[in-house]
């Protein structure tokens, strides 16, 4: 990142975007120029503008995933100049604004790269492996009937807050995409630590920890070698300390 553009000004950008029609065809970078677009646009809004231009000329628009566009759903995610979700910490790519970039900058946009995330099209990859990891975790035993009384199950405020901090994982896959081993350790650790710290998660705690870590290997995710890139790119800033905690859980 170099000098920042004016808050309400405009800028021109060169976008180098990975285009791939389908998994069976080889992909390639294509360059596009965005002329004088508002600096207050988000990067995804800039892609929307680019897509409008492409549709007008009859070309297939750039495919990227998006939904809430406020960093809470986990749909969006691709590499911007090699960094998952772009250069800003603690944000997903939908929260990245053009004012972050200098006028005339070149942005290279490419999809997550991981054996467990096969390409679908352009910036979209298949992330069902994360769903299967969740499914491998199984169920939590809860008593049926009336909603339990709020104070019947005691839990300390610090413990509840810590569980919540891990529950903020939106499952975007940035941790996997940024790991040189394409490990899903931070994702799985966050899911395990979310339930493992709460009273409701205790009955199946060990079984869940083992099953999810076995599924991680089965899906083709690599192992953790403590490079901590996952923590650095996580839009929710989930601590990689939970990976060590996860390894102890499976014993």
Partner 1 sequence: MIEHCGISRDAGGLRSGLEELAALAGRFHAEVRVPGTAEGPNPELEKALRVADFFGLAQLMLRDALAREESCGAHFREEHQSAEGEARRDDANFAHIAAWEHRGDGAEPLRHAEPLRFTTLQPSTRSYR
Query: What is the binding site for partner 1 (CB under 8 A)?
Result: 21-23, 25, 54-55, 58-61, 63, 120-121, 124
Q: Which is nearer to partner 1, 55 or 160 (CB)?
A: 55
Q: What is the DSSP string of 77-119?
A: --EETTEET-SSTT--GGG-BGGGS-TT-EEEEE---BTTB-E
Contact 225, 170 (CB under 8 A): no
Q: Which is nearer to partner 1, 123 or 130 (CB)?
A: 123
CB 123 to partner 1: min, Å? 12
Compute the distance between CA of residue 32 and CA of residue 34 in angstroms, rounded to an integer. Answer: 7
CB 58 to partner 1: min, Å? 6
3-state helix, strand, coil in the chain (%, to 5): 35, 15, 50
Q: Which is nearer to partner 1, 24 or 150 (CB)?
A: 24
Q: Which is nearer to partner 1, 58 or 150 (CB)?
A: 58
The CB density around residue 179, as the number of other CB atoms within 10 Å, is: 24
The CB density around residue 88, as the number of other CB atoms within 10 Å, is: 16
CB 85 to partner 1: min, Å? 21
CB 223 to partner 1: min, Å? 32
Residues in the chain: 251
Q: Which is nearer to partner 1, 54 or 72 (CB)?
A: 54
CB 63 to partner 1: min, Å? 6
Number of helical (H) and strand (E) elements in the chain, helices listed first? 8, 7
CB 135 to partner 1: min, Å? 24
Q: Which is nearer to partner 1, 95 or 121 (CB)?
A: 121
- Identify the bridge partners of residue 16 per DSSP, sorted by sequence position: 31, 108
């Amino acid at each position: 990142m170099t000098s920042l553009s004016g808050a309400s000004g405009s800028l021109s950008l060169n976008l180098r975007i990975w285009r791939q029609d389908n998994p069976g065809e080889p992909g390639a970078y294509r360059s596009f120029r965005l002329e004088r677009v508002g600096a207050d646009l988000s990067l995804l809004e800039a892609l929307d503008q680019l897509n409008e231009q492409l549709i007008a000329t009859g070309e297939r628009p750039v495919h990227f995933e998006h939904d809430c566009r406020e960093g809470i759903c986990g749909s969006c995610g691709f590499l911007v100049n090699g960094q998952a979700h772009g250069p800003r910490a603690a944000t997903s790519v939908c929260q990245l604004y053009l004012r972050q970039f200098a006028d005339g900058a070149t942005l290279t946009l490419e999809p997550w790269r991981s054996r467990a995330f096969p390409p679908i099209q352009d910036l979209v990859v298949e992330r069902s492996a994360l769903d299967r990891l969740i499914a491998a975790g199984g169920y939590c035993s809860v008593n049926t009937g009336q909603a339990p009384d709020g104070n019947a199950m005691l839990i300390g405020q610090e413990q509840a807050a810590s569980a919540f901090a891990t529950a903020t994982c939106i499952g975007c896959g940035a941790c996997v995409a940024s790991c040189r081993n394409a490990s899903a350790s931070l994702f799985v650790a966050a899911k395990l630590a979310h339930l493992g710290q709460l009273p409701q998660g205790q009955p199946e705690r060990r079984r869940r920890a083992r099953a999810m870590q076995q599924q991680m290997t089965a899906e083709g995710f690599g192992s953790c070698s403590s490079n901590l890139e996952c923590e650095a790119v996580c839009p929710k800033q989930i601590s990689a300390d939970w990976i060590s905690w996860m390894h102890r859980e499976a014993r």
